[in-house]
Copies of this chain bind each other. A is one copy, B any other.
Amino acid sequence: MEGDSTLQLRVFDLNCWAIRYLSKRRQERVRLIGDVLRQERFDLVLLQEVWSEQDYSDLKAKLGGCYPFSHYFRSGVIGSGLCVFSRFTILDTLLYQYSLNGYPYMLQHGDWFCGKSVGLVIIKISGIIFNVYVTHLHAEYSREKDAYLPHRLVQAWELAQFIRHTSKAADVVLLGGDLNMHPEDVGIRLLRGWTGLRDAFAEAKHFEGCKDGCTLIPNNCFTIKTELLPFPLGIRIDYILYKAISSFMVNCEELKTTTGSAPGMDIPFSDHEAVMATLHIRKQREAASGTLSTAEPALVDVVTEARTEVGVGLRAAQRQRYSTGRLAVLALLLLLLQAAAVLGTLAGLGGQPFPKLSFSLLAFLAVGILLLTTGLHLFHTIEVKMLQGTEEQMRMALRVLQERP
């Protein structure tokens, strides 16, 4: 506490890039992150991509003294990768898994296996209820032809809806994470507009760190330089966002990012830069106004833009559902044809049409294709349903926005 009426909160956010067997110098970096967190004594630490539960346990053991409370959010095969360390008691937690998260067959991207989610922890500091959210949205692998945009928009929408619905009793809302969106992207405008969250970088009184607040920079020895060629300064995709809900005010006094290497070290924490915010929370006389910060006509435009993109994704998913279904039917027909040939041979209607080996290999192939395409057809059916559901929710939101006096 600073003075009588101002609470100071120091928040640390980092995508740790701690993928077992894949991330370079992982253990060394996790140790380094632990050392700095212990030394710097933040109030709240929000981490992403801590995929190994062992890494979390090691951090927990190391940080137990200064961050006695922590939570690791489990989900999916590998986990959500999300965890929180806190100086203050964690009163409650909740995890929400996004309904869409890429494609299982895009193995080279792998997002699908990670169960991307948003985690909520509730803490109370000096009587003020904080709803703290940590999340990681689907990566963008190509800015020109971003096949994952509809899925990321569904995630941004679900994130915004989850925050709106769960934060109504909170005094202060904090969101930290790797949103995989540039500040001007439709998903960020949707999230900010629909929740009223403010961007710590844009609001900070003092800023120190990478130019434009970038968190993926060419200067970091772990980033892939070719991917950043169109962005000589780097890109900003990691955020700390906040808002006060009831009779409180939040200001960002200072925002810092690391600049390619950990403070005083020769290697970076991660391929992402850490974001560190110092927030001041004050009680104010009058209750804060409504939760939507963007002027509503502008918000209508943003929701409409997002809905159009979701519609584009919906039509692509419908096409894929159709083509996988057609392939499955063809494979089934081939199998039936083979079965008929076997039955014909058994009934003595003709000679052996194929040698046994090629015949069984063909059947093997047909069964394989049938299973695969049926699986994909079911997957795209779910995708269509979730995109339709999101589009409908957005339509309902537009109706409510437009009906307001």
Name A residues whose Cβ lies closer than 8 Å to a Cβ of B: 71, 73-77, 79, 90-97, 99, 115, 120, 161-162, 164-166, 168-169, 356-357, 360-361, 364, 378, 381-382, 385-386, 388-389, 393, 396-397, 400
Contact = CB atoms under 8 A, between A and B. Distances in A.
Contact of A162 (B75, B94, B164): B94
B76 A382 contact: yes
Pairs A-B, 3 closest by C-beta atoms: A168-B169, A74-B389, A74-B385
B93 A393 contact: yes
Contacts of A378: 77
Nearest to A375: B375
A73 B361 contact: no
A77 B166 contact: no
Contacts of A73: 389
A149 to B, nearest CB: 20
Interface centre among A168, A378, A381 (most CB of B within 10 A): A168
Contacts of A356: 357
A99 B75 contact: yes
A187 B401 CA distance: 39
A382 B77 contact: yes
A95 B100 CA distance: 13
Contacts of A165: 92, 94, 120, 165-166
Given A75-B389, A95-B389, 17 more contacts: A73-B389, A74-B385, A74-B388, A75-B382, A75-B386, A77-B381, A79-B385, A92-B396, A92-B397, A92-B400, A94-B161, A94-B162, A94-B165, A166-B166, A168-B168, A357-B360, A360-B364
Interface centre among A120, A357, A388 (most CB of B within 10 A): A357
20 contacts: A71-B396, A73-B389, A74-B386, A74-B388, A75-B99, A75-B382, A75-B385, A92-B164, A92-B165, A92-B396, A95-B99, A96-B96, A97-B97, A120-B165, A165-B166, A166-B166, A168-B168, A168-B169, A169-B169, A364-B364
A166 B400 CA distance: 19
Contacts of A93: 393, 396
A400 B123 CA distance: 12
Nearest to A95: B389
A115 B74 CA distance: 19
Nearest to A400: B91
